[in-house]
Structure 1
Amino acid sequence: MKLLKTNWIKTLALSALVAASSVQAGTLEERIADGETIRLGFAAAPPWAYAGNDGSPKGFVNGIAVDVLKRMGHTNIEPVLTDWSSLIPSLKAGRVDMVTGGMYIVKARCENMDFSDPIGAFGDTFVVPKGNPKNIETYQDLIDQNLTMVAPSGYNTLKDAKDAGVPASNITEVPGTTEALAALRTGRVDALATNVLEAKHAADIDENLDMSDPANFVGRDKQVVGIGFRPEDKEFRLAFNKALKEYIGSEEMMATVTPDDYIEAFLPGDLTMEDACKAN
């Protein structure tokens, strides 16, 4: 009996070791070879990325990722919807394989994950009440009038606002875009600081909201966006970049992204991931 119990304990220990190894093991290429799905991690942030009614990955970043993966011969894809602030931790913990949420390539993020080559370049602006009654165009306008703003956790606009001098007490941080828009609609804040695409989308779907003029916004320069990978998946990322190079700006791409408000003016041109990682 004692021998049987000892063998049973050894078997459990071995099983636990194998299970732990399988969770931690391998590159994305090895997971694919084992028949595992490619897990796309994104938050609900239309038109960049969101889940369709059937749970499928929607939005132009997901559309680009899915198209490029198909070109590489990969169709076994699984969407993973999470909070924006959980995207990089989920990638690092191995809960997702790619971050397709639509992240600006900034230095702090480059220190935590690797990015693909740019898939687009965009600027920031504000979502404001209809007619922009307080004439909010810049962070300085918030400071001069002692106004408040909101942004989702992890958005670059939180840091940008603080760097511009907006008091921390005038900045509200929330889990996601839904909560940010709710704060604006209910008058808890005066503006939502976000990217041009999300601002346009919010104004298009809500007649009580407007987008401030992006031409008058003072902040970071036009920022490139990429898809995130773990450093250990370098070979897969390079293969993705090779397929992306042939895809970017193509008729296939534009047919995929146009329904989600991506236009040719957003193409990254000669802007690079390497320069973006160094610049900010």
Structure 2
Amino acid sequence: MKSKLLGSIVSATLALTASATLAGPLEDRIAAGEPIRLGFAAAAPWAHPGENNEPLGFVNQITLDLLARMGHTEIEPVVTDWAGLIPSLMAGRVDVITGGMYILGSRCANIDFSEPIGQFGNAFIVPDGNPGGLQTYEDIKNAGVTMAAVAGYVNVEEALKVGIPESKIMQLPGTTEVLAAVKAGRAEIGAMTAVEAYDLAAKTDGIGHTDTNALPQWTFNWVAVGFHPEDDQFRADFNAAMPGYIGSDDMLSKVEQWDYLPSNVPGDDASMEWACANR
């Protein structure tokens, strides 16, 4: 009897230890009654703060809906600069990051991503009429002009890959600053995601945009939600909440106000693993 009792105690202890090992920092916070800290930058229409930092934008909407499907509705919004999102996640200041973050190999080396929630391309903002005739990174390199971009955006990597000198890339905190640089003539062109470029051009006199389809296929990317590597189980549960929601009429009806279109829904063959290895 003593042997059986001791064995039961050891088994129970091992089970508790294994459970504690599987639980990541976010699950520990939730178990302690703490809210999920949602980190995002002011990057409309992907994600941006409303009144009292209310999480707006289609990536935030999708993330909040998926968390709700998991049973999590206690959310604390945390707004930071785009370049501070990954450092904030790694330092434990936020639990989940959104904001339209592309799945890139350079980012996969530091954080873990959910499965894709959308596919998007990039574009440029230019003075009305595009006087320089600039449509691609190659055009920018050949013209020798200055390109403004958001620090930490994929556009910086893409420009360097094509051969644009770092001295010709003006890195700024956000798309508002990129727009200001182009309007003031400090940069001839501004690089960003296509949805941001189209949105800014529609709202700003004297500013137009290029066609995302003028860029090569390798510049098109998949967007996902970022998690701390220690929260692998929570990320798996988040992925498990996606089927039946991503691309559904319910989702599309909520996000169309932020220019997420049915054509942006990722295909069945899209995967985080492929994007990490190829982007």
- In the superposition, the TM-score normalised over structure 2's length comes to 0.89
Matched, 1:279 2:278: yes
Per-residue deviation, residues 206-234 of structure 1 (Å, max 9, x unmatched): 12111112221246242101000011111
> What does 1:21-100 correspond to in 2, within 5 Å?
27-100=25-98
Task: Give the distance between the partners of 1:261 and 1:209, measured in 2 at CA.
Answer: 19
Q: Retained in 1: the 8 A contact 2:42–2:81?
A: yes
Task: Give the distance between the partners of 1:169 and 1:33, measured in 2 at CA.
Answer: 49
Matched, 1:210 2:208: yes
Q: Retained in 2: the 8 A contact 1:39–1:77?
A: yes
Runs of 4+ off more than 3 Å: none
Does the residue aligned with 1:78 lie in a helix, a strand or coil? strand
> What does 1:159-238 correspond to in 2, within 5 Å?
159-218=157-216, 220-238=218-236
Q: Which runs of 5+ in 1 are unaligned?
A: 1-24
Offset of residue 166 of structure 1: 1.1
Task: Give the distance between the partners of 1:165 and 1:218, measured in 2 at CA.
Answer: 15
Offset of residue 26 of structure 1: 5.5
Offset of residue 237 of structure 1: 0.5
Aligned length: 256
RMSD across aligned C-alpha pairs, in angstroms?
A: 1.3
Task: Give the distance between the partners of 2:217 and 2:167, measured in 1 at CA.
Answer: 20
Q: Which amino acid aligns with 1:64?
A: I
Task: Give the distance between the partners of 1:82 and 1:192, measured in 2 at CA.
Answer: 21
Q: Tell me whether 32-41 or 211-220 shows the greater mean CA deviation.
A: 211-220
Q: Which runs of 5+ in 2 are unaligned?
A: 1-22
Percent identical among aligned pairs is 50
Per-residue deviation, residues 28-49 of structure 1 (Å, max 9, x unmatched): 1111111101011111000000
Q: Retained in 2: the 8 A contact 1:160–1:219?
A: no
Cα distance 1:26–1:241, how it changes in 2: closer, same or farther (>3 A)? closer
Offset of residue 134 of structure 1: 0.9
Cα distance 1:26–1:218, how it changes in 2: closer, same or farther (>3 A)? closer
Does the residue aligned with 1:166 lie in a helix, a strand or coil? coil
Task: Give the distance between the partners of 2:142 and 2:70, measured in 1 at CA.
Answer: 52
Q: Retained in 1: the 8 A contact 2:24–2:234?
A: no
Per-residue deviation, residues 49-87 of structure 1 (Å, max 9, x unmatched): 000123200000000000111111111001110000000
Task: Give the distance between the partners of 1:80 and 1:45, measured in 2 at CA.
Answer: 14
**Structure-2 residue corresponding to 1:103:** 101
Task: Give the distance between the partners of 2:24 and 2:120, measured in 1 at CA.
Answer: 34
**Structure-2 residue corresponding to 1:156:** 154
